[in-house]
């Protein structure tokens, strides 16, 4: 039996505008670029909705109607869902329609698509809870499978996720972790009792996500029958083929004229030509298949770049500085009790901000550059740190006000703080 397990990641960050040092103290709207640049969040969301989300959802719905056994799963970041509510309610409705069929599963992740697990387990749990609420509210379902930002994973995360009550967790089927073992089985994360680990079959996933339209690829053009044949070869030496990819693969990374939608449209019927094949959601895979071995993942892995590690977000001094700085504010920001301030702080935790600062292969014009809305990683850093400086100032003002209010009870404090001051702890 070879079960195809589709999981599509759907995420859009709140990109920081060209926030200049002179804006600090004067402008607390960090995400409202309204230029023609690709840091205009509304414009990007509308563009991707038109090119990808709406047409791809139409194809998925068509497949659900045509094949009663067809299934798929999605993981939506909270900041993505929020942007749908703000900029494209129509797209939100089309996703809700898919989930309403009962054959489309929604996965759990951190609301802010953050790296919080690396910096603050408490903040991580809070963001997962926020995501849970959001999914329940918009889709009426409660996820049982967890996927962390960018498939960042290690044993410690698995332990935490098991404690939180999830049945399964998703990760990259990285060679350096699997070795000779196959990603087409379920594994038991080292040290867990019940949690099951689903690993991405990155070869077959990337055939669709990255190589589909590549003319340099020996197997170009990729057709549905060809792909179904490769998938069927897993029969007898695997249980589940995890095809995990960004949903933007359909129509945004691979444009419509590459034939990607037709490929998707015809894939299920080709898969079904082999009687032993079917489609499962992650929770079904977890329910149906046993784990074959324990997998020990001590160091963090992810699905990014060839390294499949954390280097896309944490490899140069700017990235470390930015992440350290944002998480250092945790206590004071939360203590402020100011919802807008807390929300802005969390939006600044989204992993994309740090990805844009990556300089690893910047000069080779690679994928990082393609996905970077800023001219250079340095500009991304400058805008981010300026915004963070303003957030810090807002936090200080809040706590100063609080302190003064306590001292001079009843007296209104009118003098505002002009310059960012490092808060002194008593």
Partner 1 sequence: MFGWEFPPHNSGGLGTACFGLTRALAGRNIEVIFVLPKKVGVSSSYAKMVFADERRVTFHEVASSLKPYVTSEGYIRERDAFLRDIYGNTLLQEVRRYALRAREIAKKEHFDVIHAHDWLSFLAGLEAKRVSGKPLILHMHATEFDRTGGQGVNQEVYDIERSAMEQADGIIAVSNFTKQKIVEHYGIPAHKIEVIHNGIDECDYADIPERLMEIKRSGQKIVLFAGRITIQKGPEYFIRAAQRVLEHNPNVLFLVAGSGDMERQIMLEAAHLGISDRVIFVGFLRGNDLNAVYKAADLFVMPSVSEPFGITPLESIIAGAPVLISKQSGVSEVLTHALKTDFWDTEDMANKILGVVSHRSLWQTLWGNSREEVKKVTWDTASKKCIDYYARVLCGGM
* Residue 138 phi, psi (nearest 5): -85, -30
Q: Does residue number 362 form part of the binding site for partner 1 (CB under 8 A)?
A: yes
CA distance linking residue 402 with residue 405, whole number of Å: 5
Under 8 Å between Cβ of 349 and 114: yes
Going through 247-374 in order, the beta strands assigned E by DSSP cover 277-280, 291-295
Q: Which of 363, 409, 414, 418 binds partner 1 (CB under 8 A)?
A: 363
Catalytic residue among 123, 150, 162, 248: 150
CA distance linking residue 192 with residue 1, whole number of Å: 27
CA distance linking residue 199 with residue 206, whole number of Å: 14
For the bound state, the minimum distance from the C-beta of residue 18 to partner 1, rounded and expressed in Å, comes to 8
Residue range at the interface with partner 1 (CB under 8 A); choices 14-22, 87-95, 211-219, 256-264:
14-22
Sign for the CA dihedral angle at 95, 99, 103, 109 comes to positive
Q: Nearer to partner 1 by C-beta: 260 or 322? A: 322
> Within 10 Å of residue 54's Cβ, how many Cβ atoms?
16
Q: Nearer to partner 1 by C-beta: 258 or 359? A: 359
Residues 6+ apart with CB under 8 A from 17: 29, 30, 31, 32, 33, 39, 383
Residues 6+ apart with CB under 8 A from 163: none
Under 8 Å between Cβ of 281 and 72: yes
For the bound state, the minimum distance from the C-beta of residue 216 to partner 1, rounded and expressed in Å, comes to 24
CA distance linking residue 337 with residue 340, whole number of Å: 9
Q: Nearer to partner 1 by C-beta: 360 or 404? A: 360
* x-or-dash string of contact with partner 1, 130-169, rule CB under 8 A: ----------------------------------------
* Catalytic residue check, 85: no
Q: Nearer to partner 1 by C-beta: 158 or 312? A: 312
For the bound state, the minimum distance from the C-beta of residue 322 to partner 1, rounded and expressed in Å, comes to 8
Q: Nearer to partner 1 by C-beta: 292 or 367? A: 367
Q: Nearer to partner 1 by C-beta: 214 or 376? A: 376
Residue range at the interface with partner 1 (CB under 8 A); choices 16-24, 333-341, 348-356, 398-406:
16-24
Q: Does residue number 356 form part of the binding site for partner 1 (CB under 8 A)?
A: no
Element spanning 344, H or E? helix 339-347
Q: Nearer to partner 1 by C-beta: 53 or 381? A: 381
- Site size with partner 1, rule: CB under 8 A: 21
CA distance linking residue 179 with residue 40, whole number of Å: 42
CA dihedral 222, 224, 229, 231 (to 10 degrees): 90
Q: Nearer to partner 1 by C-beta: 22 or 370? A: 22
Distance (Å) of CA 81 to CA 15, 305, 334: 15, 26, 23
* x-or-dash string of contact with partner 1, 17-36, rule CB under 8 A: ---xxx--------------
Residue range at the interface with partner 1 (CB under 8 A); choices 128-136, 201-209, 279-287, 370-378:
370-378
* x-or-dash string of contact with partner 1, 374-393, rule CB under 8 A: -xxxxx-xx--xx-------
For the bound state, the minimum distance from the C-beta of residue 313 to partner 1, rounded and expressed in Å, comes to 14
Query: Exposure pattern of 157-185 as b/e (b: 16+ CB <10 Å)?
Result: bbebbbeeebbbbbbbbbeebbeeeebbb
For the bound state, the minimum distance from the C-beta of residue 53 to partner 1, rounded and expressed in Å, comes to 33
* x-or-dash string of contact with partner 1, 39-78, rule CB under 8 A: ----------------------------------------
Give the chain's length.
Answer: 426
For the bound state, the minimum distance from the C-beta of residue 363 to partner 1, rounded and expressed in Å, comes to 4
Angle at 379 between CA 375 and CA 384, to 5 degrees: 130
**Interactions with partner 1, residue window 289-328 (CB under 8 A):** 316-318, 320-322
Active site residues: 150
Q: Under the rule (CB under 8 A), what is the footprint of partner 1?
A: 20-22, 316-318, 320-322, 359, 362-363, 375-379, 381-382, 385-386
């Amino acid at each position: 039996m070879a079960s195809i397990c589709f999981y599509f990641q759907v995420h859009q960050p709140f990109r920081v505008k060209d926030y200049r040092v002179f804006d600090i103290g004067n402008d607390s709207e960090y995400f409202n670029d309204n230029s023609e640049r690709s840091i205009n969040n509304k414009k990007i969301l509308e563009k991707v909705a038109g090119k990808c989300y709406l047409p791809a959802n139409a194809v998925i719905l068509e497949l659900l109607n045509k094949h009663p056994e067809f299934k798929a799963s999605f993981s939506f970041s909270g900041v993505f869902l929020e942007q749908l509510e703000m900029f494209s309610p129509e797209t939100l409705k089309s996703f809700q329609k898919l989930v309403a069929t009962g054959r489309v599963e929604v996965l759990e992740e951190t609301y802010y698509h953050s790296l919080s697990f690396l910096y603050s387990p408490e903040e991580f749990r809070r963001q997962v809870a926020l995501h849970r609420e959001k999914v329940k509210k918009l889709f009426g379902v409660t996820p049982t499978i967890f996927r962390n930002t960018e498939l960042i994973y290690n044993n410690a995360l698995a332990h935490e996720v098991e404690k939180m009550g999830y049945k399964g967790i998703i990760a990259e089927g990285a060679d350096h972790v699997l070795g000779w073992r196959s990603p087409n089985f379920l594994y038991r994360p080292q040290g867990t009792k019940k949690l099951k680990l689903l690993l991405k079959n990155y070869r077959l996933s990337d055939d669709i996500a990255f190589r589909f339209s590549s003319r340099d690829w020996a197997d170009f053009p990729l057709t549905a029958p060809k792909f179904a044949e490769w998938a069927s070869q897993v029969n007898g030496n695997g249980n589940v083929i995890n095809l995990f990819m960004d949903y933007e693969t359909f129509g945004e990374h691979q444009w419509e004229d590459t034939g990607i939608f037709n490929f998707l449209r015809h894939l299920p019927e080709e898969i079904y030509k082999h009687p032993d094949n079917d489609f499962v959601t992650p929770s079904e895979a977890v329910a149906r298949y046993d784990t074959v071995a324990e997998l020990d993942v001590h160091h963090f892995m992810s699905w990014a770049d060839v390294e499949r590690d954390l280097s896309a977000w944490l490899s140069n001094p700017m990235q470390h500085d930015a992440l350290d700085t944002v998480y250092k504010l945790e206590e004071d920001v939360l203590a402020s009790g100011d919802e807008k301030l807390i929300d802005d702080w969390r939006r600044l935790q989204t992993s994309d901000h740090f990805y844009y600062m990556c300089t690893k292969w910047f000069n080779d014009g690679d994928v990082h550059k393609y996905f970077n809305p800023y001219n250079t990683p340095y500009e991304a850093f400058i805008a981010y740190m300026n915004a963070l400086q303003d957030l810090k100032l807002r936090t200080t003002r809040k706590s100063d006000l609080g302190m003064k209010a306590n001292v001079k009870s009843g007296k209104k404090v009118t003098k505002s703080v002009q310059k960012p001051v490092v808060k002194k702890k008593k």
